[in-house]
Amino acid sequence: MTSPAGALPADLQVPAYGAASLADVLPSATAALGTPLNRGDVPADPLGLTEALQGARRVAVLLVDGLGADLIRAHAELAPTLSALTSPAGDLAAPCPSTTPVSLTTLTTGLPPGSHGVLGFVTEVPGEGRTLNHTQWADDPDPADWMAQPTVFERAAADGIAVTAVGPWAYAGSGLTEAAYRGGNYTGSVGPGDLTALMRTALDAGPRALVYGYLAELDLTGHVRGVDSPSWRAQLQQVDALVAQLVDELPDDAALLVTADHGMLDVPAHTRFDLDEEPDLADGVRLLAGEPRARYVHAEPGAEDDVLERWRGVLGDRAWVVGRDEAIASGVFGPVDAALAARIGDVVALARGSWALVTPRLEPGPSRLAAYHGSLTATELAIPLLLAHGRALG
């Protein structure tokens, strides 16, 4: 498929895979625990956590969904604990698309999306004419086949590290849990307060321990109410209180890392582009996937170039619109395994500014949300890496 040159615009960024990205957190943490992982040309500890963790033998990693680095800085007075933690490697970058299933799998495999294959919130199952919503995934496709790469949890456990993943009990056994957290002992929590207690207990599971925890509520509140809302600010205060509890209860030889999967931004009414109101955009399209700020368009055979030009012409500077080959060549997904490339649309449309590409008829719920993420703006990509030490290390 050919298309005119369309370099990544200046307001969108290629994630820094292998240098300062979410993919580098767990490999650096396991290196600090004495288990360096071979990731080819990527250094074993690209974030320098071996020095920063100061000999910690137990490491907890808390991922707060939607806790963008820009959001912490903008609300420092509401999050005094988070704001006071050290930042051993500065801001990190979320992957592309900057969305939860992609980010969680990137974190737990230590690989960019093009290598692990979870390439969007909703992607086509190639050859089957259907889509997979990774947050509603049960066992079809088989998680072991759809995401076949070994996880950092598996590799750490094989070297004797006690590995625990703590998340909502409702997610136990889901396709995403089975794929992304493979190798960890998944422990279901009944709420955020319970999650902190379970993480604290898991830190005592062995002389070397790696404990992962996932908090969903901040992201959910942001989507529904907006990140510029009293509800979101109240939720941030609750997150800060939970982090304070974890810090206070850290074992003497433990360290806590706090990170996120993406940032997010509010989308006002005037930057919502209704795809349903542009019937020409449906010409030659057999399937629409992705989400409002990161669209994958799958064309009818032979219509790829026409669909690309039509979407590029209609969307203009609202989005970066390129063909699959061009998107892959840009590096936004990292190196892409040829067997996984078809999961990316024939046309990729990543929103610029605060635009969202909504489709109220196909996606009535997602089209009504207040805040979004998924694209490659600085606010969506910048995620924190914050550090606290146990008393014997600090």
Is residue 366 in a domain? yes
For the chain, list the strands marked E by DSSP: 58-64, 92-93, 122-125, 130-133, 162-168, 185-189, 209-215, 254-260, 265-266, 272-274, 285-291, 294-299, 319-323, 347-351, 356-358, 371-372, 382-383, 386-389
Q: What local confidence, expressed as pLDDT, does residue 394 receive?
A: 64
Q: Is the pLDDT of residue 392 over 90?
A: no
Alpha carbons 325 and 319: distance in angstroms, whole number: 17
Is residue 135 in a domain? no
DSSP, residue by residue, 43-87: -S-TT-HHHHTTT-SEEEEEEETT--HHHHHHTGGG-HHHHHSB-
**Residues 232, 289: one domain?**
no
Is residue 46 in a domain? yes
Question: Which is nearest to 239 in space by CA: 224, 222, 253?
Answer: 222
Kindly report the CATH number assigned to the domain that includes residue 80: 3.40.720.10
**Residues 253, 189: one domain?**
yes
pTM greater than 0.95 (yes/no):
yes
**Residues 187, 205: one domain?**
yes
Question: Which is nearest to 184 in space by CA: 223, 159, 205, 210?
Answer: 210
Domains in the chain, number: 2
Asked if residues 33 and 57 have their Cβ atoms less than 8 Å apart, the reply is yes
**Residues 254, 280: one domain?**
no
**Residues 245, 356: one domain?**
no
Q: What local confidence, expressed as pLDDT, does residue 43 receive?
A: 93
Is residue 103 in a domain? yes
**Residues 241, 333: one domain?**
no
**Residues 177, 256: one domain?**
yes
**Are β-strands 356-358 and 272-274 bridged in parallel, bridged antiparallel, or unpaired?**
parallel
pLDDT single digits (tens) 42-88: 999 999 999 999 999 999 999 999 999 999 999 999 999 999 999 99
Asked if residues 335 and 360 have their Cβ atoms less than 8 Å apart, the reply is no
**Residues 341, 385: one domain?**
no
**Model confidence band, residue 294 (pLDDT cutoffs 50, 70, 90):** very high
**Residues 250, 292: one domain?**
no
Q: What local confidence, expressed as pLDDT, does residue 284 receive?
A: 97
Is residue 140 in a domain? no
Q: Is the pLDDT of residue 3 over 50?
A: no
Kindly report the CATH number assigned to the domain that includes residue 327: 3.30.1360.180
Is residue 67 in a domain? yes
Is residue 83 in a domain? yes
**Residues 250, 276: one domain?**
no
Q: Count the Cβ atoms, other than its own, within 10 Å of residue 156.
A: 25
Tokens, residue 189: 């929590």
Is residue 353 in a domain? yes
pLDDT single digits (tens) 295-354: 999 999 999 999 999 999 999 999 999 999 999 999 999 999 999 999 999 999 999 999
Domain enclosing residue 105, as ranges: 22-118+151-266+378-389
**Residues 94, 203: one domain?**
yes
**Residues 201, 335: one domain?**
no
